[in-house]
Amino acid sequence: MGSNNDVEKIHEENNLALARFQEHLVNKGLKPKTIKNHVDNMYTYLNVYLTRYEDMPSDLREGCLYSRLDGYFGDWFIRKAMWSSVAETKSTLASVKKFYALMLEEGVIDEDDYCEMCEVILDCKQDWLDSMWAYDHMLGI
């Protein structure tokens, strides 16, 4: 696990990106509740999962990698996020796509990484949703 200084530095960068994301969504004319939902979804992904539940803290650039996305949507989100559901999974996937589209626009990630992320989401989304559904029904939710 990385040092607390590593995590703090990543959180600072993430929080600046989240502030830009929020401003971007405001400028797009989204409703305050929708904006809050997208920002909260990304906060959990970036500042909780990527920095605390991987072998090493990951920055937001690594968040568009297959291994990070699959670890989150295929396992962590299902088991650890008490609010998780099929609908929340869909909502969070939309947040990830919007956030990383902005990161592409800002030059934080490159087009190849963004396109690969979109392909991963397209290829894996149904499996992640099926896993979420199965977990909910196993628990009798």
Tell me how many domains the chain contains.
1
Radius of gyration in angstroms for the set of CA atoms belonging to the chain, rounded to a whole number: 15
Task: Enter the pTM of the model.
Answer: 0.92
How confident is the model at residue 2, as a pLDDT?
54
How confident is the model at residue 3, as a pLDDT?
67
How confident is the model at residue 140, as a pLDDT?
59
Question: 110's torsion region: left (phi>0), alpha (psi -120 to 50) or beta?
Answer: beta
How confident is the model at residue 135, as a pLDDT?
85
Supply the range of the domain harboring residue 97.
Answer: 4-138
Mean pLDDT by 10 residues, the chain (141 residues): 80 98 98 98 97 87 95 94 92 98 98 97 97 81 55
